[in-house]
Amino acid sequence: MKDTKGTALKTSKSEQAGRLKQIEEEALREIVSKVAGKSAAELVPILKDKGHVDEFKIAGKAKITINELRNILYKLHHHDLVSSIRKKDNKKGWFIYFWSLNVERAIRSLIREYSKEFESQTSLLDSRTKKNYYICPKGHTELSEESSLEQNFECIECGELLVLKDREIEQRKINKTIDTIQERVNLLRELVHKYEAANKIAFEKDIIKVAKEKKEARAAAKKVRVRVAKREEAKLARVKAKAKAKRGERKAHKKGMKR
Ligand SMILES: [Zn+2]
């Protein structure tokens, strides 16, 4: 009984992880293509979870020229979505750039984009709730009441009489858009929570590591102190022994003189 339950729980956990991975990849494709064009989305699976990747390898996998790739990468870099490190190629003597995707920053940036969209849809809803709009039945134009009045409620394109736009239909449409944005942002926030949890674990591991290093350093310093003290003690013992031997010699010498 317990086993079955345990296994079921495990599956759902890995399913959950898989679902988040998929959301993440889609979101990354979305923000990357927003910033650098649709073709840039192809770089996501090449860069994601791969650390820093050699730019020539990226260009090869994406089947684009190195210059095309650099153009995309510079755009992404401008928005802080990728970072690079360079390493000197010892054989050829020039520098090679390695690029990685800033996943967390990219997701946060997409959330900001959606938040802007949310704001603009909310203010649109507000204006569409308060004001009347008129449209051409043939779909040429859409005007506020004031502008329609100036045009004598006639379409500039075809002269057709403008009709009052159905507020309810439009509000429903905007509300639907707002709901979709909200759902999207909630999913993306799930990802951010995942990163925050991972960052916290990494941070705690770091603290433990630093504490361990400090302890080791203290132990090493103590060892050195003990060694130095022992050496000093031995030195002192040697000096004392020498002095004693000298005193002995002098005594013997004095005895010899007396004789
Ligand atoms: Zn018209």
Domains parsed from the chain with CATH numbers: 2-101 (1.10.10.10), 106-214 (no CATH)
Task: Tell whether the model's pLDDT for residue 3 goes beyond 80.
Answer: no
Predicted pLDDT at 8: 57
**Residue 173 CA to ligand 1 centre (angstroms):** 23
Which residue did the predictor score with more confidence, 2 or 10? 10
Q: Is the dihedral of CA 186, 83, 98, 197 positive or negative?
A: negative
**Residue 165 CA to ligand 1 centre (angstroms):** 14
Task: Tell whether the model's pLDDT for residue 9 goes beyond 90.
Answer: no
**Residue 142 CA to ligand 1 centre (angstroms):** 9
Mean of the per-residue pLDDT values of the chain: 92
Confidence label for 103 from pLDDT (cuts 50, 70 and 90):
very high
**Using CA atoms, how far apart are residues 149 and 118, in angstroms rounded to an integer?**
31
**Residue 140 CA to ligand 1 centre (angstroms):** 4
**Residue 241 CA to ligand 1 centre (angstroms):** 117
| Mean predicted confidence (pLDDT) in 46-75 | 95
| Mean predicted confidence (pLDDT) in 47-72 | 95
Confidence label for 188 from pLDDT (cuts 50, 70 and 90):
very high
Task: Tell whether the model's pLDDT for residue 256 goes beyond 80.
Answer: no
| Mean predicted confidence (pLDDT) in 129-148 | 94
| Mean predicted confidence (pLDDT) in 186-196 | 94
**Residue 170 CA to ligand 1 centre (angstroms):** 19
**Residue 128 CA to ligand 1 centre (angstroms):** 21
Residue 63 falls in which region: left (phi positive, over 0), alpha (psi -120 to 50) or beta: left
**Residue 216 CA to ligand 1 centre (angstroms):** 82
Residues 6+ apart with CB under 8 A from 123: none
Task: Tell whether the model's pLDDT for residue 238 goes beyond 90.
Answer: yes
**Using CA atoms, how far apart are residues 66 and 112, in angstroms rounded to an integer?**
31
Confidence label for 7 from pLDDT (cuts 50, 70 and 90):
low
**Residue 42 CA to ligand 1 centre (angstroms):** 42
Of 30, 192, 217, the residue nearest 117 (C-alpha):
30
Task: Tell whether the model's pLDDT for residue 5 goes beyond 60.
Answer: no
Predicted pLDDT at 47: 96
Which residue did the predictor score with more confidence, 44 or 5? 44
